[in-house]
Structure 1
C-alpha cells in the first residue's frame, strides 16, 4: 500500500501560456515508471489471466445470441451484409443496432472461419483491453494499489463477466467508452489536443456500437475538461470545437452512408419505423429507451420491467439487478463523496478531483439512466456502470485509506463505515439466493467484522508485526467485499446447472433471484423458441419464463457451432422450432466440435431429445430439408415472423431467411407490395403464417395473410414428414382437416411468380 502515498510525477515546466500546475496535498498518484512497485505488473498480469479464464473458460457450453450470431455469419457471406449489419445475407433487414461490433466479429470470422471461438476472440480481447485501460488511467492519478483494486473489481463484476461471455455489442461499447474517458482525462492532465480528439473518436465509435448509450458519460467528460484543464478559455473552446467535429464524423458516418443509398438498394433498418438509420437513432435506440414506446414498451416500467424490474431510483438494488451490479455501489458512493470533501479547497486544476468527477459522473449518469429508463432494460446494460464503480473503489478507496491513517479522528471512521455497509449489503444479496452457497454469507460477515476490528486495533502501527497485521486486515476486508461478486462471477464458467442465466438474449451471472428475467417470449407459431422466455429453459437450467405472446414473439436463443467453416455442418444439423408446424423449442447450445445436443451434425440443436427437442420430434428438420430441396433458386429460404426465428434458421441452414417484423415483431419491413415483388422475381417461395407469431403492424399482417391464403398453396405435413406419410393418404376430408388445423397454429405456404396477378 506504500505506493498510494507516492508523490505526483514531475509536472511539465511552466510557460508564459501555461501557469504552473497546482497539486493537491490529497492527490495520491502513480510513482514514476522506474519506481513502480515490484508487485504491480505481476498483479496486473494475474488479474488479466483471471479475467481470461472467467470470460473464456467452458465458453462452448453457453449459448450465444442467435440474433447477432446470424448477422455475423451473414457478414461473412456478403460484404454488403457486413457493412449494413444485415441479419441475412440477402439483405432484407438489419439488426436493431449499428454494426460496429458486428463488423469486428465478422472480420475475425472471415479470417479464422465461422465459429464460437472465432466470433468471441475479439470480444474477450476487448474485455481485457478495458481492464488494462482502466488500470492505466487509475494508476496515473491514484497509484498502483488503486489501479490493481480497480482492475480486480472490474474483472469480477458479475454482469460484466456474463456479458463478456456473450456476443452482444456491450463489451465493445464499454471498451470504447472507457478508452474515451481515459483519453479525456489524459488531455486534461497534459493539455494536448490529440488525446482529446482520440477521446471524441472513441465515443463516436461507441455511438456506432449502441447509439445514444455510447454518449451517456459524455457530460462528465465535457465537465472535467472544461473545469480542470490548465489551458486558457479560448484555447479550450477551439480544442472542444475540433473534438466536436471528430465526434460528429465518427458518430454519423454510418448513418450518413446508409441514407445515401436508395431505400430500394439497402436493407430495412431493423428497429426503425420507416427503414432509416436516423429514425433508429432518435427512436428505438434513443429516447425510446428512456421514455418507453418506439418498440420499447410503454411507460411506467412496462418495457423495462419485463427484464430488469420496474423503473425507479432503487432499481439497481432490486432482486433482478442487485446481484449483478450493486455489490460495491454503496462503497463507491461513500468513496466519491468523501474523496471530493478531502480535496477541499484544492486548485481548480487538481487531478485527483478531476478524476473523481470523471468517474463519479460516469457512475451517476449511468445509474440514473438505467434506473429511470421506462423502455426496454436488460440487466446486461448495467455492465456500463462497472468501470465507474471500479475506479471509485480503487481511487476513492485509497483516499479513504490515507484519511484513515492520517491521524485525524474525524476521518478514522469513514473507511470502516464504508466496509461495514459493503459487508451488510453483501449479506443481504447472498441471502436472496435461497439455498445457494448458504455458507458464504456468514463467512463474509465474520471476515468483514474481523477485518474492521483489525483496522482499528492496528491503525497506528508504525513497523514490524503490527504493520503486517494491518496489511492482513486490509486484505481480509478486500476478500470479504469481493467474495460475493466473485461467487456470482464464477458461475457462468464453473457453476452447476442450477445457476447462470446465460441465455444469449439476456445473459446474467449467479443464481436466479428475481422474477423480471423473462426473455423474448412469444406464443406459438414461429421457427425457433418455445413458449415463455428465450426457448423456455436457458442453458444452465435456469427457467427464464417470459410472457407468451408478449413483446418479443418467437425468439429462442441460438447457439453456435464450435468449429470453423459453414454454420455447424448445415444443412444436416437442425435446431428446435417453435410450437406449431415447427415443433420443438428450447434454447440451442452449440455442441463440442460441431456436434449439437439433440440435433444431427453440427448445427445448434434443441435442449435434448429428438431433433428439435419437442412435440413431433424430427418434423422440423424434415420440413427444413423439404424447403431446401424446393428452394428452386430463390434468394431466401423462407420468410418468418421475427429475427430470432430467422436467425436460428440462418445458423442451421446457412441460407438467407427473411425476418418480416424484426426483433421485437413491430418492424414494418414487409409490405404486400414488397412480398409480391419478391415472389414475382422468384426470390422467395415460402412464407410462414399464423400461430400468433406474426407481430408487426396488424393491418399489414391482415393484408399479407389474406393475400397469401388466397394465392398461396399450403404445405401439408404429408409432403415432407415420413411419420405422417401413410396416414395422410387416407381421404380428402382428412387432408382438409389437417390444413385447417395448420391454419390455427402455423402454416407454411408456397408462392410462385404465377400466383402474383
Structure 2
C-alpha cells in the first residue's frame, strides 16, 4: 500500500477514534455544567434569551460570558429538542473538528506524519477530552483559535494569500464572543509570526495586520455594540458586571481582573499557587502537563534545526506559532491572580500538540546527528518520568501502569540513542515503543475521563474521585438535587407568573429550572454578587405577582461570606425571610411570595 494511502487511512482512523472517544456515552454527564445548560434551555424558550445568553427564558440576567457557545448549543436544541445529547453533541463535534483542523495546519508545514502526531496528542489530552464532552464555552474557543492558526499558516505561504489573515481575525473575534479576552492571548503571537515569515514586503505585511485587526474588531465588536445600544430596560441584566455594562464584563471581570485579581464581585484565585509550577501542580498537572517538557525541548530543537533557513521558512514559522502560543498562554495561566480553573488549560492543548508534532518529526529526520538523538531521548525520558509522577498522584488507580511506562520508556530511550544504526523497520518499531511510553499516561487518563460522568462548575479530568454525584451539592459551584415534590410545586401555576421562582445564585436557579422546565430567577447572578435585581426591584416584582416562590438554600455571598460585589442578594434573602413564612419541601425552605405574613 502506498504511503499516502496509509496516511489517509490513518487520518480517517484518527477522526473516527476521536469521535468515539468524545461521543461515547455522552449523556452520562446529564446536564454537565447546569449553569450553561439552563441558559441553553432558556434559549430554546426565547429567542431573546438565546441572543443575550440569558439564564432563564424570562430574561432576568445573562450568564457571565458572551454567548457564542450558547448559540451553537441553542440552535442544536431548537432543532433536536432539549436533552443532554442535543446540548453536548455540538461540543464533541467541535472537538473532532479541532483535531481535524490541527492536523491540516501542522501538515502544511511539516508533512502528514507531523500532522497525525499533533492531532493524536490533542485528541488524547485529558483536559481536551473533558472539555469536548462538557458544555463550557472552552470547546468552541479552542476550535476557533485552531482555525485562526490555520488561517495564519495559509496567510504566510505566499504573497497573494491576502484574505487568510483577515479570516484569522474573524476566527479570533468570534473566539472573543465565546470566552472574551482569553481569545486575544494568541494575537501577539500570530502578528509576530506573520511579520517574521510572510511572503510579502514589510509594508504589505503591516497593512495585512491592520486588516486582520479590523476583522477582529468587527467580528467581535458587533455584539458588544448591539448589547451596549440595546435599551437596558428591554434586555436582561449583564451577569458578571456591577453596572449592567458588557464592556465592564469584558474588560474587568473577564479581562484585566483575571490577571490582577481585582474582580469586583468575583472570588479571586482560589488555588493559591501562582507561579511557574502551577501548570505542573496538583490542580492542573494531570490535566495538561504530560507533554510540556517535551514541548519545550521541541521548541528549542526546532529553532536549532531551522536556524539557518530563510526568513519565510514554514517549519520555523510553525514552531514560532505553536511555541509562541504555548509560551504566552502558559505564562498568563501560571501567573494570573484572578479566577483561574484547571480546565482553562485546554487552551494550551493545541499548542503543545502542534509543537511536539513538528519538533519530533524534525528531530527524527535529523537522527543521524547525535544532538538530534539526544533531544529525542530527552523528550521521551522527561515525558516518561513526568508521566509516572502524575500517575503517582492517584496511585491506587491502575497501579501496574507506572512501572510499565517506566520500563518501556527507559527501553525506548536507550534504543533512540542508537536508532541511526538500526534498519528502517526496527527504527520504526523504536518510534512506536517511544510513542507508547509517552502516550500511555495521558491516554489512560483520557479514557478514564470519557468513562466518568462529570458535573458542576469546576470539572476535572481523570479517574472518578467522587462518582457522578460529585459536585451536586448546590450553593456557589455545585448544582442542587431537586426532589419530585419541589419540582411539582414549582411547576404548578407557573404560567400565571413571569418567574416560577427566584433563588440566590445561578447554579441554584439552574438546578430548579432544569428540573421544573420553567423560568427561575438567579438573584445576584453566578456568585450572588451582582446587583440584579435590587431589593427595590425585587419587591416590585413580588408586588406585581411576577415571582411565585423564593427558594432558600446555602449560598456563600463571596469568599468566606465577604465579597467586593453587591449585597443586594443577601438583602433580598433577608427581606423574604422577614416577611414570608417558609415551608420545607424536600428538605428546602420555600417561601410562597403570593402569601405574606399576616395576610
| TM-score for both structures, normalised by structure 1 | 0.74
Partner of 1:237: 206
> Structure 2: how far apart are the matches of 1:672 and 1:456?
71
Instruction: Provide the aligned length of Structure 1 versus Structure 2.
Output: 591
Partner of 1:392: 355
Contact 2:501 2:547 (C-alpha < 8 Å) held by counterparts:
yes
> Structure 1: how far apart are the matches of 2:568 and 2:74?
33
> Structure 1: how far apart are the matches of 2:255 and 2:443?
33
Q: SS of the counterpart of 1:637?
A: strand
1:417-462 superposed Cα distances (whole Å, 9 cap, x missing partner): 221111111111122212111111111111122222333344134x
1:360-398 superposed Cα distances (whole Å, 9 cap, x missing partner): 001111111111121111111101101011011110101
1:40 aligns with 2:7: yes
> Structure 2: how far apart are the matches of 1:555 and 1:416?
43
Query: What pairs with 1:101-250 in structure 2 (closer than 5 Å)?
Result: 101-191=69-159, 192-250=161-219
Contact 1:133 1:178 (C-alpha < 8 Å) held by counterparts:
yes
1:652-707 superposed Cα distances (whole Å, 9 cap, x missing partner): 11110000111122111110221133223321232235755566856534643454
1:508 aligns with 2:508: no
> Structure 2: how far apart are the matches of 1:303 and 1:452?
39
Select 1:576's aligned residue among 462, 481, 486: 481
Partner of 2:400: 439
Contact 2:279 2:285 (C-alpha < 8 Å) held by counterparts:
yes
Q: SS of the counterpart of 2:533?
A: coil
1:5-51 superposed Cα distances (whole Å, 9 cap, x missing partner): xxxxxxxxxxxxxxxxxxxxxxxxxxxxxx96221111111111111
Q: SS of the counterpart of 2:156?
A: helix
Per the TM alignment, residue 295 of structure 1 is displaced from its structure 2 partner at its CA by 4.9
Partner of 1:633: 496
> Structure 2: how far apart are the matches of 1:241 and 1:325?
34
Contact 1:450 1:473 (C-alpha < 8 Å) held by counterparts:
no
Contact 1:363 1:388 (C-alpha < 8 Å) held by counterparts:
yes
Contact 1:131 1:154 (C-alpha < 8 Å) held by counterparts:
yes
Flag the 1:81–1:261 CA change in 2: closer, same or farther, 3 A: same
Q: Per chain length, whose mean CA-contact separation is higher, i.e. which structure has more relative contact order (CA < 8 Å, sep 6+)?
A: 2
Partner of 1:335: 298
1:377 aligns with 2:329: no
> Structure 1: how far apart are the matches of 2:140 and 2:445?
22
Select 2:572's aligned residue among 688, 700, 704: 704
Q: SS of the counterpart of 2:64?
A: coil
Contact 1:679 1:752 (C-alpha < 8 Å) held by counterparts:
no
1:531-567 superposed Cα distances (whole Å, 9 cap, x missing partner): xxxxxx551x6x5699xxxxx944433xxxxxxxxxx
Contact 1:641 1:693 (C-alpha < 8 Å) held by counterparts:
no
Flag the 1:556–1:538 CA change in 2: closer, same or farther, 3 A: farther
Per the TM alignment, residue 231 of structure 1 is displaced from its structure 2 partner at its CA by 1.1
Q: SS of the counterpart of 2:591?
A: strand
Flag the 1:116–1:404 CA change in 2: closer, same or farther, 3 A: same
Q: SS of the counterpart of 2:322?
A: helix
Partner of 1:68: 36
Per the TM alignment, residue 275 of structure 1 is displaced from its structure 2 partner at its CA by 1.2
Contact 2:503 2:551 (C-alpha < 8 Å) held by counterparts:
yes
Partner of 1:493: 450
Contact 1:555 1:643 (C-alpha < 8 Å) held by counterparts:
no
1:148-172 superposed Cα distances (whole Å, 9 cap, x missing partner): 1101101000110011110111111
Partner of 1:649: 512
Flag the 1:713–1:382 CA change in 2: closer, same or farther, 3 A: same
Relative to structure 2, which stretch is displaced further, 242-251 or 504-513?
Answer: 504-513
Superposed CA RMSD: 2.5
Q: SS of the counterpart of 1:315?
A: helix
Q: SS of the counterpart of 1:86?
A: coil
> Structure 1: how far apart are the matches of 2:554 and 2:286?
37
Partner of 2:370: 409
Select 1:261's aligned residue among 223, 226, 230: 230
Contact 1:501 1:507 (C-alpha < 8 Å) held by counterparts:
no
Partner of 1:669: 532
Q: SS of the counterpart of 2:366?
A: helix
Partner of 1:84: 52
Per the TM alignment, residue 243 of structure 1 is displaced from its structure 2 partner at its CA by 1.5
1:326 aligns with 2:289: yes
| TM-score for both structures, normalised by structure 2 | 0.93
Flag the 1:554–1:235 CA change in 2: closer, same or farther, 3 A: closer
Query: What pairs with 1:342-741 in structure 2 (closer than 5 Å)?
Result: 342-405=305-368, 408-461=369-422, 466-494=423-451, 500=452, 502-511=454-463, 537-539=466-468, 553-557=475-479, 576-577=481-482, 612=483, 621-631=484-494, 633-689=496-552, 692=555, 699-701=567-569, 703-705=571-573, 707-709=575-577, 712-717=579-584
Q: SS of the counterpart of 1:658?
A: strand
Unaligned runs of 5+ in 2: none
Contact 1:715 1:750 (C-alpha < 8 Å) held by counterparts:
no
1:109-150 superposed Cα distances (whole Å, 9 cap, x missing partner): 101111111122211111111111110111111011111110
Contact 2:547 2:593 (C-alpha < 8 Å) held by counterparts:
no
Contact 2:504 2:522 (C-alpha < 8 Å) held by counterparts:
yes
> Structure 2: how far apart are the matches of 1:709 and 1:454?
72
Higher gyration radius (CA):
1
Flag the 1:84–1:699 CA change in 2: closer, same or farther, 3 A: closer
Per the TM alignment, residue 313 of structure 1 is displaced from its structure 2 partner at its CA by 0.8
Per the TM alignment, residue 510 of structure 1 is displaced from its structure 2 partner at its CA by 1.6
> Structure 2: how far apart are the matches of 1:388 and 1:435?
31
Partner of 2:262: 293
Q: SS of the counterpart of 2:550?
A: strand
> Structure 2: how far apart are the matches of 1:66 and 1:467?
53
Contact 1:295 1:664 (C-alpha < 8 Å) held by counterparts:
no
Per the TM alignment, residue 238 of structure 1 is displaced from its structure 2 partner at its CA by 2.1
Flag the 1:319–1:238 CA change in 2: closer, same or farther, 3 A: same
Contact 2:52 2:236 (C-alpha < 8 Å) held by counterparts:
yes
Flag the 1:676–1:205 CA change in 2: closer, same or farther, 3 A: same
Unaligned runs of 5+ in 1: 1-34, 495-499, 514-536, 547-551, 558-574, 578-611, 613-620, 722-741
Flag the 1:701–1:130 CA change in 2: closer, same or farther, 3 A: closer
> Structure 1: how far apart are the matches of 2:200 and 2:598?
72
